[in-house]
Amino acid sequence: MESEEEEENENGDDENADKYMVGVVEVNVVGLQYYDGRVTDGEMVRLIREPHNPYDHNAIQVVNIFGRQIGHIERTKACHLAPLVDTKLAVMEGIVPQGSSRNRFKMPCRVYIFSNPEDGNNVKQHLHIAGVILLPPSMRMEEEDASVSMSQQQQQGAAAARKQATKPKAMKESLDDVFAVLGEMSGMQRQMMEPSPVISSTMFRHQKEALAWLIYMENSSKLPPFWIIHKPRGGRGGGGGGSSSKDMLLYKNTITNFSTDQRPDPLRGGLLADDMGLGKTLALLALVATNKPGAILPLPQIANVAAGDQEEEEEATAAAAAADTAAVRPSKKRKLGAAAAATKKLPAAGLEQPADSPPQLKGPRATLIVCPLSVLSNWVTQLEEHTVPGSLGVHLYHGPDRIKETSILSSFDIVLTTYNILATEGVCSSDNTEAAAASSCSTSPLQKVQWLRVILDEAHLIKSPTALQTKAAVALKAHRRWAVTGTPIQNTARDLFTLMQFLRLEPLNESSFWRRTVERPLMSGDSSGLARLQALMKAIALRRTKELQVNGHRLVELPRKTVTIHYVDLAAEDREVYDKLEENGKEVIGQLVQSGTVLQNYASVLQIILRLRQICDHSALCPAYSEMLCGGELQCLKDVNCAPPELLQKLLSVLQSGEDFDCAICLNPPTNAAITPCAHVYCRRCIEKSLARNKEQCPMCRSGLSASDLMCAPKVESTQIGEQSEAPPSSAAVKSSAKVEALIQLLTAVRDKDPTEKSVVFSQFSQMLTCLQGPLTDAGFHFVRLDGSMTVKKRQMALTAFHSKDLTSPTVFLLSLKAAGVGLNLVAASRVFMLDPWWNPAVEEQAMDRVHRLGQTRDVEVVRLVVSDSIEERILELQDRKRQLATFAFEKRSAAQQRLTRIQDVQLLMHL
């Protein structure tokens, strides 16, 4: 059950996912005569706490999947259930029993109570004292609700099932199954479509297939996933809304059992999840140019697509329906089930089924594309390269000159903006999409425009439901919606939930229904959860990988990519400093581990680790290391209560220069970064807003926190070096390092072999890029740079210069891993140098794929520079561990497990 005032964790985790079922309480829902919400037997309902109800401060609303109120839980039970919710001891979910007797005033409902293991006895005792009968979880439940049934098994002792579900092999099979469904090429997806003449580039076959699929998904009037057409068996129509005729056709949601005589709106959009480097940007530009208002499309191809997909839609619907009545694993070629067969026999007359068609000529025409700042310049470049000049009206909604008049914005074909702009201009204060669009979000021109379509590039950036940019993206008004990401599932299945919110896929865009029908059964090993996720992905997503085989041939033939490690030995002076710092660090962290206070002193731990990493790159990155060793700061860290503000201030400066961390609220590099005493970094505005909502605690670790505890970084003037002409420092002004010398030698060898071959150099530290500029200049290299401090104009200038084929064009590109790791096309290069390893291997692989992607004509060689006998070697071990943990992508880890993993990571990095 939700509260009107309740919000999820700021970091996007669902704290309700770990709860188990304590028992069942039978209640009556009253006041049906006052509300128009409909409900049928076996249907899931939402229970919403209503503390500000003027007639009953213990009120609990009962609403259907569309949020329409059915009634209230009777007062005699609500007065005992409400305190459990208010004190966060329990979460409640409701189902209308099968064959229940009801009238126009009341109806029965079963309330399933979930709690954390440590709170279960308190919940039972509270209800026992109140005289409320708590039925055991072993009670028989409705067959229609497989998700809650599996929660019952959690309580009853289905330990064997959970144990099996967490075995690496079982979890890997789950991952493989889901992604296999994403990667399957259906008959519909093998159709091709030629793009509009506006597209000047030649598209590959797989891009034309993507275009046909995109246009079909936009123009199709088919039912959304998990909706079927059926005839009711009798005249029972449900509470609060009359009855249904035996001959009336209803639309039924197979996972919630909700039925309605109103046809659900088609999805008109979906998830484009093609692998990185397959040319998603060009396919989307072709969609914008081809499926325009009033467009005349090649009807035979569209007709073939629709006809070819009808049977597949029925198969997917049947598989989804079967998954909800029997927890069996569907085969990839399941025959039509009873639900689909019944659907095929229904008469066409009376079905309000709109015809498939392109956008209306008199409707909206503008497409809003939202992307990270680092990708904005890539969209500009792709537009220049792939479209006829002047054929599309484009506006860059960024910087001080962005247009505010909605009438002008809506007249463009494409409006480009960033997630940061979306968040700062369109902060949604309501979880209700329509209310949000009409409230605080309405101050933003982006929220006022009725868009033809909205495209979220790198859509995994909205995985936090409470992040400002997520709320703003969900509130956008559009006829068509596309989420675009090569990594739709990064950690757990929960990552998909916010994409369902953005796509407005009812009822899975509501947190409790997603948790009940997909997430919880998936975590507990119930095959119905996997079947539902498979059916959902097959219905809304297209994913092809570079290795996908079609008719015995790979989807795309890319040149070979090799990754090698080049070990570097520190100079004697730097090795001495490193060893002393590591020795002191081990002593400090070892004592923290023994006393069990590692996480309470995480700021100190991070500082030690960060300094060690920086010394491996260049001693100039941490000029205060001598003060650290001699000034006693590390010794001070042994005292848990000392926590000197000066130390945290220095740490914050390092975090800013390194660009290693995102704000945990908006998931972007911190703006006016602020750090808490518990060492969590946020945008100052984000954390102040969080604290202002009467939550005086850190959103990440829940430690007590007030605005006065925040420490903000001093403003540092940025050099914003984007061109070599900005007078980079000479090598004489900056002491060299073993890594710098090794990189110069490797680059020189590349130049001696082929003077035209280009290289990209990634580092996590902007200061390291600065340290490279002098040596590169002295060695005669022409280079450009891109980092997070640069404006869009400077980024574009650097990219244009690097892609130039002029003999005098730059051959080296210095890149910040954070600012340039995703979205860019760097096929002009064929050599990649990774200067420092990062914790998450997926981040590095994304950076490598900036070069190894569609359009690359040379073999790509990736060289990782790693200091021998250092923390960098142990980071590589940590990467291997994270790759193994990726097998458990659908396994929810408890807070205790997450804390233990963090401590184990620290021990590994410090070789303890």
Q: Tell me the average pLDDT across 822-838.
A: 87
Best CATH choice for the domain 162-225+267-342+355-554 from the list 1.10.10.10, 3.40.50.10810, 1.10.3720.10, 3.60.150.10: 3.40.50.10810
State pLDDT tens for residues 132-176.
999 887 554 433 343 443 333 333 333 333 333 334 344 444 544
Exposure letters 56-68 (e unless 16+ CB within 10 A, then b): eebbbbbbbbeee
State pLDDT tens for residues 52-98.
999 999 999 999 888 889 999 999 999 999 999 999 888 898 998 87
What number of other Cβ atoms are within 10 A of residue 141's Cβ?
A: 21
Instruction: Give residue 50's pLDDT.
Output: 93
The strand ranges marked E within 123-162 are none
| Residue for token pair 């079609």 | 550
State pLDDT tens for residues 350-361.
334 445 678 888
State pLDDT tens for residues 254-275.
888 888 888 888 999 999 988 8
More confident residue, 188 or 403: 403
Q: Tell me the average pLDDT across 26-40.
A: 91
Chain centroid to Cα 789, Å, comes to: 25
Instruction: Give residue 80's pLDDT.
Output: 94
Would the pTM of this model clear 0.75, i.e. be above it?
no
User: Which residue type, as a one-letter code, is found at position 464?
Assistant: S
CATH code at 2-142: 3.30.70.2330
Instruction: Give residue 652's pLDDT.
Output: 54
Residue 85 CB burial class (10 angstroms; 0-12, 13-18, ≥19): buried
Maximum average pLDDT range among 230-234, 295-299, 492-496, 562-566: 562-566
Q: How far apart are CA 822 and CA 844, in angstroms?
A: 10
Instruction: Read off the tokens for 168.
Output: 């690496």
Contact (Cβ atoms closer than 8 angstroms) between residue 834 and residue 844: yes
3-state secondary structure 238-283: CCCCCCCCCCCCEEEECCCCCEECCCCCCCCEEEECCCCCCCHHHH
pLDDT band at 722 (very low <50, low <70, confident <90, very high): very low
Short-list 655, 788, 659, CA closest to 722? 788
Report the half-sphere exposure of 447 (CA within 13 A, side-chain side): 26
Q: How far apart are CA 591 and CA 588, in angstroms?
A: 5
Report the half-sphere exposure of 176 (CA within 13 A, side-chain side): 6
Instruction: Read off the tokens for 723.
Output: 């061109």
541 forms bridges with which residues in the sheet? 271
State pLDDT tens for residues 495-553.
888 999 999 998 888 888 888 888 877 776 677 777 888 888 888 999 887 777 666 66
pLDDT band at 724 (very low <50, low <70, confident <90, very high): very low
Instruction: Give residue 10's pLDDT.
Output: 37
More confident residue, 881 or 650: 881
Contact (Cβ atoms closer than 8 angstroms) between residue 268 and residue 453: no
Give, as one character, the DSSP assignment of residue 707.
Answer: G
Instruction: Give residue 789's pLDDT.
Output: 75
Question: Which three-class secondary structure state does DSSP give residue 601?
Answer: helix
Domains 2-142 and 595-712 share a fold: no
Q: DSSP alpha helices (H): ranges in 553-598?
A: 572-595
What number of other Cβ atoms are within 10 A of residue 325's Cβ?
A: 15
pLDDT band at 437 (very low <50, low <70, confident <90, very high): very low
For residue 641, pLDDT beyond 50: no
Q: How far apart are CA 234 and CA 868, in angstroms?
A: 75
Instruction: Give residue 810's pLDDT.
Output: 94
For residue 468, pLDDT beyond 50: yes
Instruction: Give residue 822's pLDDT.
Output: 66
Strand 269-272, strand 259-260: pairing: unpaired
Instruction: Give residue 791's pLDDT.
Output: 77
What number of other Cβ atoms are within 10 A of residue 300's Cβ?
A: 8
Mean pLDDT of the chain: 75
Short-list 700, 793, 786, 779, CA closest to 746? 779
Q: Tell me the average pLDDT across 789-814.
A: 87
Q: Tell me the average pLDDT across 840-849.
A: 80
What number of other Cβ atoms are within 10 A of residue 844's Cβ?
A: 22
Contact (Cβ atoms closer than 8 angstroms) between residue 318 and residue 228: no
Q: Report the CATH fold assignment for 724-906.
A: Rossmann fold (3.40.50)
Give, as one character, the DSSP assignment of residue 356.
Answer: P
Q: How far apart are CA 112 and CA 95, in angstroms?
A: 8
More confident residue, 631 or 64: 64
For residue 719, pLDDT beyond 50: no
Short-list 821, 823, 827, CA closest to 843? 821
**187-191, 632-636, 898-902: least confidently modelled range:** 632-636
Maximum average pLDDT range among 291-300, 531-540, 632-641: 531-540
Length of the chain, please? 912
For residue 707, pLDDT beyond 50: yes
The CA-based dihedral angle spanning residues 29, 30, 32, 38, taken in that order and rounded to the nearest 10 degrees = -10
Q: Name the residue ranges covered by the structural domains of the chain.
A: 2-142, 162-225+267-342+355-554, 595-712, 724-906
pLDDT band at 399 (very low <50, low <70, confident <90, very high): confident
Give, as one character, the DSSP assignment of residue 854.
Answer: T
Instruction: Read off the tokens for 806.
Output: 């002029």
Q: How far apart are CA 320 and CA 414, in angstroms?
A: 37
For residue 712, pLDDT beyond 50: yes
Instruction: Give residue 347's pLDDT.
Output: 32
| Residue for token pair 């140019």 | 289
More confident residue, 332 or 459: 459
Instruction: Give residue 622's pLDDT.
Output: 72
Instruction: Give residue 628's pLDDT.
Output: 46
Strand 831-834, strand 812-816: pairing: unpaired
Instruction: Give residue 491's pLDDT.
Output: 62
What number of other Cβ atoms are within 10 A of residue 351's Cβ?
A: 11
3-state secondary structure 512-549: HHHHHHHHHHHHHCCHHHHHHHHHHHHHHEECCCCCCE
Maximum average pLDDT range among 361-370, 597-606, 685-694: 361-370
Q: Tell me the average pLDDT across 751-778.
A: 92
Q: How far apart are CA 565 and CA 620, in angstroms?
A: 24
Short-list 622, 660, 612, 623, CA closest to 870? 612
Domain 595-712: CATH superfamily is Zinc/RING finger domain, C3HC4 (zinc finger) (3.30.40.10)
